[in-house]
Amino acid sequence: MDKRKELKDQYKQRVIRGGVYRIVNTVNGKYILGHAVDLKAALNRFDFAVANNSCIHYDLQEDWKEFGARAFAFEVLEEIDKKQDQSQKEFKEDLETLEELWREKLDAAKEY
């Protein structure tokens, strides 16, 4: 097997980890709840936004300007792995359901 095909097969066999996260304003406790098919990518986007002081969500803009990017934290609330026989659509639907369950657990008054 050539190297390219081997790498391609490894890529297809990788574990895809999604989940529910929240971005919390550590000053006032307000948060944005979300889900991502790839949690690592979501965290990388958040870290990039903080490093460049560029707000990642419209609802956060006002507080982002007032308190600064460093006032926000990315928290993973729950992770799940995509099953081999699960379609991308099914995986996303599972994540949406999981997000709604977390929304019920959290204080809605603190959500942006």
Identify the pLDDT of residue 1.
Answer: 60
Identify the pLDDT of residue 34.
Answer: 97
Strand partners, 32: 23
Listed in sequence order, the residues at least 6 apart from 53 whose beta carbon sits closer than 8 Å to its beta carbon are 68, 69
- What's the token pair of residue 55? 């707000």
Identify the pLDDT of residue 14.
Answer: 75
The pLDDT tens digits for 38-54 are 999 999 999 999 999 99
In the chain, which residues have pLDDT < 70? 1
- Please give the domain boundaries of the chain with CATH numbers for all domains: 16-110 (3.40.1440.10)
